[in-house]
Amino acid sequence: MITRREAALRLDIPLEMAQRHGIPPKLTDAELEELDRNPPAWLAQSRANRTGRKPIWVELRCDVCGFIEVARPKKWWPSFTYLSCDHHAFDELPAPAAGRARREYDGIGNRFIGIVDDKPGA
């Protein structure tokens, strides 16, 4: 049995869409394979409308311990230099390169801090 969230990940659709179109909270691999092979009209339309510019899901990986989480990307997320679990100390990441300033973004996924090393004024 797989969860609705896992089904949304595998079908590459938002969780909200899976729920709205009646994908049950739990389903078998065979049921998911059937949905993928013979998509209902709403899923076929969603796939046809896909531009590829913005991913539905992204993999977040801690640069310290390797913990992985899959999340929906937010429009405000910049391109991160590093991602770190929120419980790691900042000295566990490499120091910013000379001439770079470090900015931190809390609330990335469920437990990450995003780090951006930019040239000052960029």
Residue 26 CA: distances (Å) to CA of 10, 16, 23, 30, 39: 14, 15, 8, 12, 18
Query: Based on the structure, what is the number of domains in the chain?
Result: 2
Going residue by residue through the chain (122 aa), what tens digit of pLDDT does each one get? 999 999 998 998 998 999 999 999 999 999 999 999 999 999 999 888 877 777 889 999 999 999 999 999 998 899 999 999 999 998 899 999 888 999 999 999 999 999 999 887 65
Q: Which domain holds residue 77?
A: 58-118
Tell me: do 37 and 86 sit in the same domain: no
Which residues neighbour 107 within 8 Å (Cβ) at sequence distance 6 or greater?
none
Tell me: do 83 and 106 sit in the same domain: yes
In this structure, the number of other CB atoms found within 10 A of the CB of residue 9 comes to 16
Residue burial 68-83, b: 16+ Cβ < 10 Å; e: rest: ebeeeeeeebeebbbb
The pTM (predicted TM-score) of the whole model is 0.73
Tell me: do 108 and 72 sit in the same domain: yes
Tell me: do 43 and 63 sit in the same domain: no
Q: Whose structure tokens read 């001439």?
A: 99
